[in-house]
Amino acid sequence: MSALLFPLLFLGVFAFALFKKVKLFDAFAGGIKGALPLLVSLFPSLAAVLILSELFTESGLSAFLARLLAPALELVGIPKELAPLLLVKPFSGSGSMALLNGIITQYGADSYLARCACVLYGSSETAFYLSALYFAGRKISPRPVLIALAGNLLAAVTGCLFCRIL
Amino acid sequence: MNGVFAAMFLLSALLFLIFEPEAFLPALAAGGEKAVSLGLSLAAAYCVWLGFFGVMEQSGLTSLLARALRPAARRLFRSEDDKALSAACCSVSANLLSLPGAPTPLGIEACRRFLARGNEFGAHMLFALNAAGVQLISTTALSFRLAAGSASPADIVPPILLSTLLSAALVVLLTFLTSPKRPRSPLAPRPRPRLRTHSRR
């Protein structure tokens, strides 16, 4: 479905722009003009977060924290096998993707664990990583990040619950 | 952020020091490498979507969209800035539809416009909404299950939808509740003729 969506979206918008007598090339290129400066301004925080996330997983700190947190997570209904995924997801999209794939292949695609992992993955976002991008070069107040993390945690808890009853 | 960074970096470095000191530098370099390659793919996404947004802007679609969504969006983001509002709405809806690549550049664009006008609340709201991962369908999770030979790959969709909506509601609520100062313009009694609201700012 989403394969059709993109051509349709661009066709529709560009046709409308032509109808409005917009100079397509100039408008498109004008929009892109901001792309590289944007990347340049984002890059420092992007790099810092990615280096941090690499250290976090490679040092074994995430595995250690996952073991530490597992009992607390079990208490709210999140299986302990999912703790690493829950911890890595805020930092790294590719890292959590690898973990998700690992869980699916290890426990089977239709197991309760794999379904929970999918729900956990699908209903949360890379909050720390996004905060570095959204507020690059500015003082990041912890409030929105904490709020987003709280939302993700709630989604994880309810997601595991829904997996059990639905 | 600085606290989190310091604590995590030092703890990780300490673990490396104790268990495998020779792996420390390669891990740092691997992170940097990821940043470069991710930066490049981000730049590619920016080119496509900011170009697209440029066309939308020139054709007047963004202001149309903003006008259509204004009643809800101006309250949600407490902003009267048409361009920022439409970028924010595009970003959230792209996230909702899980269009790969589109939400982040548009979200950053909207966030910068909010912040440029001193609207911290709007930026926080947009960030929190997008970082709560409001997604109707997670294409990644679906494709992984499909690849692993699941009997019914789509049975994760209802739980994802329900829990993601719950978390979005929580995030919006918390952002409203914890916002430092009450808004002046959008929620205060406003003059009845709603035309040309953007000229008032």
Give pLDDT tens digits for A81-127. Answer: 888 888 888 888 878 888 888 888 888 888 889 889 988 888 888 88
Surface of A (11-40) touching B: CB under 8 A: 13-14, 16-17, 20, 22-24, 26-32, 34-36, 38-39
Question: Do the domain assignments include residue B17?
Answer: no
- Name the band, by pLDDT with cuts 50, 70 and 90, for residue A24: very high
pLDDT for the residue B1: 67
How far, in Å, CA of B64 to CA of B60, rounded?
6
Question: Do the domain assignments include residue B192?
Answer: no
How far, in Å, CA of A115 to CA of A100, rounded?
10
Q: Could you tell me which residue, B69 or B175, shows the higher pLDDT?
A: B175
Q: Model pTM?
A: 0.79
B54 touches chain A (CB under 8 A): yes
Give pLDDT tens digits for B73-101. Answer: 888 888 888 888 888 888 888 887 766 67
Q: What share of chain B has pLDDT > 90, as a percent?
A: 10
Residues of A in contact with B51 (CB under 8 A): 28-29, 31-32, 35
Question: Do the domain assignments include residue B160?
Answer: yes
Question: Do the domain assignments include residue B13?
Answer: no
The first and second tokens of residue B73, run together, are 């969006």
Task: Sketch the domain layout of chain A as residue ranges.
Answer: 42-165
Among the residue ranges A65-74, A126-135, B114-123, B190-199, the one predicted with the least confidence is B190-199
Question: Do the domain assignments include residue B162?
Answer: yes
Is residue B193's pLDDT more than 60?
A: no
pLDDT for the residue A18: 92
How far, in Å, CA of B170 to CA of B129, rounded?
10
CA distances in angstroms from A88 to A12, A60, A68, B90, B174, listed in the order given: 39, 12, 14, 28, 24
Give pLDDT tens digits for A31-58. Answer: 888 888 878 887 888 888 888 888 888 8
How far, in Å, CA of B162 to CA of B153, rounded?
17
Residues sharing a CB contact under 8 Å with residue B18, sequence separation 6 or more, in sequence order: none
Question: Do the domain assignments include residue B6?
Answer: no
Q: Give this complex's ipTM.
A: 0.81
- Name the band, by pLDDT with cuts 50, 70 and 90, for residue A26: very high
How far, in Å, CA of A119 to CA of A113, rounded?
10
**Across residues B104-119, what is the average pLDDT?**
89
Is residue B32's pLDDT more than 80?
A: yes
Count: domains in chain B: 1
Could you tell me the residue range of the domain that residue B126 belongs to? 32-178
Which candidate, A32, A165, A109, places its Cα nearest to that of B152? A109
Is residue B191's pLDDT more than 50?
A: no
The first and second tokens of residue B56, run together, are 């939308």
In chain A, DSSP finds a helix count (H) and a strand count (E) of 9, 0
